Amino acid sequence: MVFTFTLKYELTSDESDMDTLMESLAEEDCDDALIGVGLPGRLALEFVREAPSADDAIEGAIENVRRAVPNARLIEAALAP
């Protein structure tokens, strides 16, 4: 199944280079996400991901982001209706 969900993160000051951040996310298989950086120090990713379950999709994406941006703090995860 395909699931749409959003993950929102708070970034540390050393993660403020958006070009590097985007490259890291792409390298860690987050190329199925629309990335938003509208608020300083925040990162929002809207994923459209295929997985056996919503939990699998979200947990996999969280792990991908954790590898790409290890110091980011997850502040919200929401499954689209």
Listing DSSP states for 16-35 in one string gives: --HHHHHHHHHHTT-TTEEE
The string of DSSP codes covering 60-72 is HHHHHHHHHSTT-
Percentage helix, strand, coil for the chain under 3-state DSSP, each rounded to 5? 35, 35, 30
pLDDT in tens, 31-65: 999 998 778 889 999 999 999 999 999 999 999 99
What is the tally of structural domains in the chain? 1
Q: Which domain holds residue 68?
A: 2-79
The reported pTM is: 0.91
What's the CATH number where 66 sits? 3.30.70.3400
The pLDDT value recorded for residue 3 is 97
